[in-house]
Structure 1
C-alpha cells in the first residue's frame, strides 16, 4: 500500500478524529514494562491487550485474556511494524518508548503531518516515486499500487533531506561527483589541513572558475578560499555516488543514488547522508524508471562498461520526497515514524545506535 497518494490527507483527518475519541475516553493505558513477553500473565498483559485493541492490532474479542499467547505476540509484532520498529514480538525498550507517548502527543503529530501534506499540491501521476524520509524508504508507485519498495539511507539530522517535488529525467551511469560547497567548507578543507594527500587518495580534482585543473598544494585550505573552487571526484570504484545516480533536477541539488557504503542499509536507523538519498537495489529502481526493455541485469551491464553515460528516461517520472511521521495507507492501517528532524515537536530527538561510518 502506498505511503503517499491522493487520499493521504483525508485518511489522516479520519485518524485524527479516531484518536480524538480515544482522548475523550481517557487516553491510552499505562505503557507495559520492558521485558514483558510470551508466558507473562496478569494486569500488565491486560493493559497491553487494551492498548492493542485501541489501535486495532488485536481484535476486541481478545481484550480480556490475562495470559500472553501466540495471538498477542502477533499483535505486538504488528504494532512494531506499524511504528517502524524491529519486529521482536515482545516489549523491548523502543516499543515501550512508543507506547509511553500519550494520545495527545499522537494528535499533535498527526496535525503537523496534515499541515505538511495539505501544503503539497500534487497531481499524482500513473507512475511516480515516493521517498518517505522518516521511514528511510523509497516506493515506486504504478496505477495506485507499490510496484517496488526499497530500503534507503537519508540525511542525518544535521544535514536533513529536504521535502522535494521533482521529475526524474535520466539515469547517470558511472557518475562523477561534484562536492557541494558546504562539504568543501566544513569537511574537505579540514581534511586537507590534516592530510594534504586526502584529495588524491579520494581521486578528487580541484577545478578553478575557468575549468582548469589546479594543484591542491597551491591552495590555502585553512582559509575560506577553498570554496572558490570546484572539487570533483572521478567516477569508478570508491565514488561517493556509487555506480549510478538518478537525475532529478531541483533547487536543493539533491538526488537518489548508489553508494559504496552498502553496509549502512542494514542499520536499524538509516540517517547518515548529507541530504541525498542512497537506495538499496538502485539498479532495479533504475530499470523500472527506464521502462520497457530494461531490467537490473541490463543496468548492471551498462555499469560494467566503466563508461560515463546518461540514459534519458522516455516517460519522465515525478518524484516526491515527503516528511511523514504519521500516515495511513489505503487499507486504513495507521503508521508512525520517529520525528528525526524535530519538525513535529522541536525537542531533542536522539537516534539510538547511530554511528556515521561514511559521511557522504
Structure 2
C-alpha cells in the first residue's frame, strides 16, 4: 500500500462516519504538534531524578491493556483515528532518533535523555509538562515502561537493544504499518460470533472474546519463522484432556529419525510408541533408522507429564494439521521471542481457556477438568456448541482509549524491513521444535 495514498483505503462511508468525531481532533492535533517543540523547550526544567519520584505515575504508566478486543465493533474506527494522529506526527517532522552511548535507565544523566524525552512526548508516552533535561527520572521511567508495554516488550524501564530499535523506527514507517493493518482489521469487521478465540501470531498471544469484551488473555508460543503458524478461520469442536501426541510426518523425518540415530533409546525414554496400519505396536529396534526415508508408521506418545501437549489439546477443523495445546516447558512463556513451534500454538494457563470453552458443555466444571487430568486417562470432550477460532496476523492496532499498539513483523509481511526487529537482530534458535518434540 502506498503511504501517500494511505487515506484512500478508507471507504467513503467509513470516512463520513468518523469525520465528524475526529475532524476537530485532527485540526487541534496538528496545531498542537506544530507547537510541540516550543512547548518542550519552554517547559520547566526538571531537577534530579531522585527528588521527582511520582509513584502513582510510575504505577499507571504501563496500564495500556484494556478489555477491548483487537476485533470488535469499533476496531476499524479506532485504527483510523490512530492513522490521523500519526499523519499529523509525520507532517510535523516525526520524532528524533535516540542515540544512546550508554544504557539509559532510571538514575542516569546523559544528553541522549533529552532526545528520549522529546521522542516520548511526541508519541504521547510522556506528558509535555515533564520538560526536557538530561536526567532519566521517574517520569521518563514511567514513559519508557508505557512505550514498552505498547510494543509488547518487557516493561522494565531500561533502553535495551529491542526497546531502542523499536523506538527508532521512523514515524512514517509506523504510519504505513497502521495503514497496512487497517486493511487486515477491516477484513475481520463482520460478525465473528458471540464467543470466539483470536490468536494474534505476531503478538504471540490469545484473546477469548465474549459479547465484544475480552474474557481471557493468554500468552502463546507460535510458529518459527521457517515453520509459520497459518492464517485461518475455523471452529473449535473438541477439548482433549490427557491427549496422545501423534508426531507429524515432517517432525518424524526432520527430527525424530536423526535423534534415533544418535540415541536408540529416545522413543522408549519419551513414551513414544510405533503403531502400524493395523493398530499393532512395532518395536523400535526392528527399524532401520539409517534408511533414507522414515518408517511408514504412526509415532504416538502416551499421555503424561512428558507428553508434548502435556494436559490438554484443543482441536479445530483445518487443513494444516495445527491445534492449540498445553506444554511441559512452561518456562518458554517467559521469553521475549515466543516463535518456537512448528505451527501449532502453545497456550499458557490453558486450563483457564479449557474451562471457558467448556462452560456451556454440561458436566465440565473446572473441578471436573482438574480431576480428569489428575486421573491421567485420555478423555476427548465435544463442545456443546463449537466456538469460532481465528489465527490472524495483526502488527498494529488501537483501542477506544487511543492507546496505539505495535508488534514486531516477525514473518516480514508488512513490507518494511525495519519492522522485523527480532528477525533482523538475529534470534538464536535450536534445531529441534521443542513445542511438539520432547527432548
Say which structure, 1 or 2, has more relative contact order (CA 8 Å, 6+ apart). Answer: 1
Task: Give yes or no for contact 2:73–2:189 (8 Å, CA) kept in 1.
Answer: no
Deviations 1:7-62 (A, max 9, x none): 33333333233223222211211214152233455753332222212221122333
Instruction: Specify every segment of 5 or more residues in structure 1 that has no aligned partner in the other structure, as ranges.
Output: none
Task: Give yes or no for contact 1:32–1:91 (8 Å, CA) kept in 2.
Answer: no
Instruction: Pick from 75, 79, 93 the counterpart of residue 12 of structure 1.
Output: 79
1:268 corresponding residue in structure 2: 336
CA RMSD, aligned part only? 2.5
How many Å separate the matches in 2 of 1:79 and 1:346?
Answer: 21
1:3 corresponding residue in structure 2: 70
Task: Give yes or no for contact 2:358–2:383 (8 Å, CA) kept in 1.
Answer: yes
How much does 1:285 deviate? 0.9
Say whether 1:342 aligns with 2:342: no
The verdict on how the C-alpha distance between 1:42 and 1:60 changes in structure 2, with shifts beyond 3 A counting, is same
Task: Give yes or no for contact 2:341–2:433 (8 Å, CA) kept in 1.
Answer: no
Task: Give yes or no for contact 2:287–2:295 (8 Å, CA) kept in 1.
Answer: no
How many Å separate the matches in 1 of 2:128 and 2:72?
Answer: 30
Instruction: Specify every segment of 5 or more residues in structure 2 that has no aligned partner in the other structure, as ranges.
Output: 1-67, 418-422
How many Å separate the matches in 1 of 2:170 and 2:121?
Answer: 16
The verdict on how the C-alpha distance between 1:231 and 1:350 changes in structure 2, with shifts beyond 3 A counting, is farther
How much does 1:240 deviate? 0.5
Question: TM-score, normalised on structure 2?
Answer: 0.75
How many residues are aligned here?
360
1:315 corresponding residue in structure 2: 385
The verdict on how the C-alpha distance between 1:291 and 1:38 changes in structure 2, with shifts beyond 3 A counting, is same
Task: Give yes or no for contact 1:239–1:260 (8 Å, CA) kept in 2.
Answer: yes
How much does 1:81 deviate? 0.6
Say whether 1:108 aligns with 2:176: yes
Question: TM-score, normalised on structure 1?
Answer: 0.90
How much does 1:146 deviate? 1.6
How many Å separate the matches in 1 of 2:258 and 2:135?
Answer: 59
1:358 corresponding residue in structure 2: 434
How much does 1:227 deviate? 5.6
Post-superposition, which runs of at least 4 consecutive aligned residues in structure 1 deviate over 6 A? none
| Structure number with higher helix proportion | 2
Alignment of 1:1-360 (within 5 A): 1-33=68-100, 34-40=102-108, 43-64=111-132, 67-120=135-188, 122-226=190-294, 228-291=296-359, 294-345=364-415, 347=417, 348-350=423-425, 352=427, 358-360=434-436
Q: Give the 3-state SS of the residue equivalent to 2:369 in structure 1.
A: helix
Deviations 1:64-97 (A, max 9, x none): 4564432222111100110111112232222111
2:34 corresponding residue in structure 1: none
CA radius of gyration, larger in: 2
Task: Give yes or no for contact 2:90–2:171 (8 Å, CA) kept in 1.
Answer: yes
The verdict on how the C-alpha distance between 1:294 and 1:332 changes in structure 2, with shifts beyond 3 A counting, is farther
How many Å separate the matches in 2 of 1:87 and 1:327?
Answer: 19
How many Å separate the matches in 1 of 2:327 and 2:411?
Answer: 23
Task: Give yes or no for contact 1:236–1:243 (8 Å, CA) kept in 2.
Answer: yes
